[in-house]
Structure 1
Amino acid sequence: MSEHSTVPVPDPADPADPAEELLDVVDEHDRVTGQAKRGEVYRLGLTHRCVFILVRNPQGRIFVHRRTDTKLFAPGAYDMFVGGVVGAGETYRSAAVREAEEELGVRGVEPRRLFKFLFEQGPLSWWCDLYEAEWDGPVAPQAEEVAWHDWLTGEELAGRLAEWEFVPDGRDAYRRYLESTAPGDAAAG
């Protein structure tokens, strides 16, 4: 029996507007240079901070989901990570726990930090702190964040990557994750 539990999904009638969330704006060395609302950060292409958590069940299957069509970034795209932006003044670690628990609709997630990298694609730029976690209980994904979900094997996910539209930062993070976990010297490959 799991010591973890699911929690109620937040009320979708909550007036909080994600575009109004205050974020730290950072430089190319991940040093805070100011703050701005998320909508402005996206509109102006300001560098900010995000967390990515690869969640597996005890059988090694990966939690994969489709983002809702109301998301500010990559609406309706698939993702193999739960996560999101780091709020102003928030640490990467606390954001990783918060985001994993919010999106999975659970309590008790204990993410393990792997590495950090700067994602840049066109006008998009954010620091990504990557984590992994195992979850052995039921999930109740946040309805305003997750439109569909399933637990896929690595092979199933590889097939879906060729078929489905995935978020670009998630694709990049997953490629880096696979390279970091590959046996032997990935550069020699």
Structure 2
Amino acid sequence: MTPAEEILDIVDDQDRVVGQAPRGRVYAEGLRHRCVFVQARDAAGRLFVHRRTPTKLVFPSRYDMFVGGVVGAGETYDEAALREAEEELGVSGLPRPEFLFKFLYDDGAGLGWWSSVYRVRCELPVRPQVEEVAWHAFLPEEEVEARLDQWAWVPDGLAAYRRLRAFRAHG
């Protein structure tokens, strides 16, 4: 099955499942679905940052400070967070990512998806998927902050990062 054929749950503005559709149709028609964002840090507390491959369906060649992706049909956010983190980092045996908060991302052009944000510590050697990750590094948060206005970031990841900063400031 290609990524475009993967079946996703379609959800309403209250995050209730109202149907299912292939990912390609979800993206083409702007149907509301679910995504997970997992902030991975190494033992030194540095953030995993990567640049997406040019072949990605959405936001190709953009930088991201999260691993994650869409939640499959019938899958929970927690299940998707662990699956996506292990897949994108190229590891197995990660601790269960810790759920932090959920928000409805809106791209300003009528597209939106429910976004659950997690964090996980990855002390294992990473081997990111070559189909998904063109470049990666663990960077100190100060360097990530310095790059926010310099690199082309995925917009939903940038929104999640800004919300995570606010969450930490008030938590």
Letter in 2 for 1:116: K
1:112 to 98, 103, 112: 98
Q: Write the mapping of 1:29-40 to structure 2, written as runs, cut at 5 A.
A: 29-40=14-25
Q: CA deviation at 1:123?
A: 2.9
Q: CA deviation at 1:108?
A: 1.5
Return 5+ residue gaps in structure 2 as ranges. Answer: none
In 2, Cα distance between equivalents of 1:124 and 1:96: 22
Residue 134 (structure 2) aligns with: 147
Residue 153 (structure 2) aligns with: 166
Q: Write the mapping of 1:28-67 to structure 2, written as runs, cut at 5 A.
A: 28-67=13-52
Task: Specify the structure having the higher radius of gyration (Cα).
Answer: 1
Q: CA RMSD in A?
A: 1.0
Residue 20 (structure 1) aligns with: 5
Letter in 1 for 2:88: E
Q: CA deviation at 1:162?
A: 1.1
In 2, Cα distance between equivalents of 1:155 and 1:124: 31
Letter in 2 for 1:175: R
Q: CA deviation at 1:89?
A: 0.4
The runs of 4+ residues in structure 1 deviating greater than 6 Å are: none
Residue 93 (structure 1) aligns with: 78
Letter in 2 for 1:156: E
Return 5+ residue gaps in structure 1 as ranges. Answer: 1-15
TM superposition score normalised by structure 2: 0.97
